[in-house]
Amino acid sequence: TQRVRKIWSDNAPTDKPTVVFRLLRKTALMADYEVVPEIQPGDNTRTLPNGSDTVHWTDLPATDEQGNAYSYSVEEGQFNAAGEFIHLIPENYRAELRVVALYDGAGHENGTELVVTNNWQETSFTAKKTWSDDAPTLKPDVELVLRQNGELYETAGEPRLLHDGETEVTWEHLPLYYYKEVNGVIEECAYDYSVDEIHVPESYDKIIVSETEILNDYHPVMLEARKSFDLSLAMPEFAGEKLLPETVRFSLYKTTWDAATGVTSMRKYDEVVVDGMVDDQITDGGEVQEWLYIWKRLPKYYDVIDEHGNHSRRENEFRIVEEWIPQNYELLETKDVSEADALRWNVSNRYRNGFTAHKVWDIGDRTAASLGGLPPVSIQLYRGIVLEDGTRIETDIWSEIVGEPVTLNGVADENILGQSRETTQENSLIWTYTWFDLEIYGAFPDARLTDYGIAAGDRVKYFYYVEEERGTTGPDGFSLDVLSSTSDTLVNRLDKTSFRAEKRWRNGPVDTRPAVEFVLYADYLDPATGMKTEPVRVGSITLDGVADMEGEVAGWD
């Protein structure tokens, strides 16, 4: 009887491969072992499945025909597709064979046991993260992944997150070898490991220094926006008065990819107020000269994920839009004057006594296209009276209509300077209409304002304001904010919208993830200022990874 016992090294994976032992023999007169001849097909092999550790052969001859004693051994392998035995040690193992003597109860030697030990071959891999010298002190979190022979290795190479200040990461217990068939011959090859960075931080380029090091090179985008004013048409009545506006606003648009629709579009990224005063301290952006604003650290790239889950990055495009045209001005030009090494935009306004109405669509994270477009709206211009001390008389007491209602549809009219027209900028959710050459002064026609010291025929100064479809609630599906009678801004807010949040987990146990609570906050556009308010809590919901009727449409979503 010949028994064979299999031992796996402690670091071997839990699931062991099925192995086949083939029996060998030799005598002292033989130079090498020979395969024991088959009497019945397959009787010289034994299969050892996962979970088993012993096989044996019985009734083996002790000597050859000449009486020479046999010693027995085994070779390890597997069956090929044709059912033929191939001498092949399990992938990424090394084998060691020992002959152990067996003894009976009296202590006498009683045969041998062959012990085959398979040792799992493993290594570790350490990767290094470096940054260019001009990178900001605070570094973004980055995620490094391990590649095995160029492919993402997920078995033991989970992505590793490096926080600010962390520069190295190590993957342990990686297999060293694999089998590859070359011209019909199975060869053992060593795995090639390398590090990669899938999601490169904004404003950085990835440079693979070596298989073990990745450098992030800092390349932020800088953009200048300059404001100029043309006062050549100012009326004589304003001689000596300060005509420049106190502030102007620049809206910065950039390319944005919408994960929900897969569509890339230009959307508002930032809005700044410029007041003609140079800022003292400028880090990410500020007014570096009078009416010249610069963004210093804009993201160079944006990420896109295709239908197969593949990530790619594209270079951002930027555009300056003046959505809030200063009162008494018309927009002359918004022009891209960028050069090869610098992004620059010029925005020019010309003074032209007039009034600009702003129609603001507050649709949250939705797009106009997702709503099937925005409906046209009708607005009416009015004027009231302002006293010498700047007090405006309530419009309930006195106001009058100026001209006919006008309709806005979100598309600028032909650019005929000086003519009242819609001046909405492309893709903007702030529609604008400007009236020009409006009267500054007039003669009051009756005596209704004697309490204010104004008699019939006195010269009065006008102010202008606008209302939308007076007495209605605005377009279907929208609420019209209640506005004061001195407003140049109308806000239509979408009555209902939806908001989606998704919980993602990295590492950790899969089956014992805790329930989490999401808290929803909302802000809105203040019609008086056109700026967003501080967020207000709307409600909360608990997610447990199981779809339900409460809002969790899928696990953790």
Class of the CATH domain delimited by 122-218: mainly beta
Predicted confidence at residue 294, as pLDDT, reads: 96
In this model, does residue 50 exceed pLDDT 60?
yes
The pLDDT value given to residue 187: 93
Tokens of 548: 């339900």
What is the band of 473 on the pLDDT scale with cuts at 50, 70, 90?
A: very low
Segment 494-510 shows an average pLDDT of 71
What the block records as the tokens of 234 is 């100012």
Gap between the Cα atoms of 420 and 194, Å rounded? 64
Q: How confident is the model at residue 73 (pLDDT cuts 50, 70, 90)?
A: very high
CB count, 10 Å around CB of 103? 10
State the average pLDDT for the chain. Answer: 85
Question: 295 has which bridge partners?
Answer: 223, 285
pLDDT over 50 at 209, yes or no: yes
**Lowest model confidence (mean pLDDT) among 94-98, 189-193, 485-489:** 485-489
User: CA 68 to CA 39: how far, in whole Å?
Assistant: 21
Q: What is the pLDDT of residue 505?
A: 75
Domain pair 2-120 / 122-218, same fold:
yes
pLDDT higher than threshold 50 for residue 424: yes
Distance (Å, whole) CA 383 – CA 395: 8
DSSP string of 136-178, one letter each residue: -SSPPPEEEEEEETTEE--SS---EEE-TT--EEEEEEEE-EE
* pLDDT single digits (tens) 328-370: 888 888 999 998 878 999 999 988 778 888 888 888 777 888 7
β 459-468/478-480 pair status: unpaired
Q: What is the pLDDT of residues 516-542, one digit of tens each?
A: 888 888 887 665 566 778 888 888 888
Q: Which residues contact 185 (CB under 8 A, 6 or more apart)?
A: none
Rounded to 10 degrees, the C-alpha dihedral 263/267/269/274 comes to 170
> What would the two tokens of residue 99 be?
């002959």
Domain covering 2-120 in this structure, CATH number: 2.60.40
**372-397 average pLDDT score:** 85
Give 279-311 pLDDT, tens digit per residue. Answer: 988 888 999 999 999 999 898 888 888 888 777
CB atoms within 10 A of CB 503: 13
Domain ranges of the chain: 2-120, 122-218, 225-352, 353-497, 499-557
Describe the strand order of the beta sheet including 478-480 as a list of residue ranges.
421-422, 430-436, 354-362, 489-494, 478-480
pLDDT value of residue 215: 94
Q: Which of 179-183, 393-397, 466-470 has the lowest average pLDDT?
A: 466-470
Give residue 21's pLDDT band: very low, low, confident or very high (50, 70, 90): very high
**Distances 56 to 23, 73, 115, 421, 443 between C-alpha atoms, Å:** 10, 11, 12, 97, 119
Count how many Cα atoms sit within 13 Å of the Cα of residue 390 in the half-sphere of its side chain: 0
Is there a contact between 158 and 183 (Cβ–Cβ < 8 Å)?
Answer: no
pLDDT of residue 482: 44
Give the pLDDT band (50/70/90) at residue 496.
Answer: low
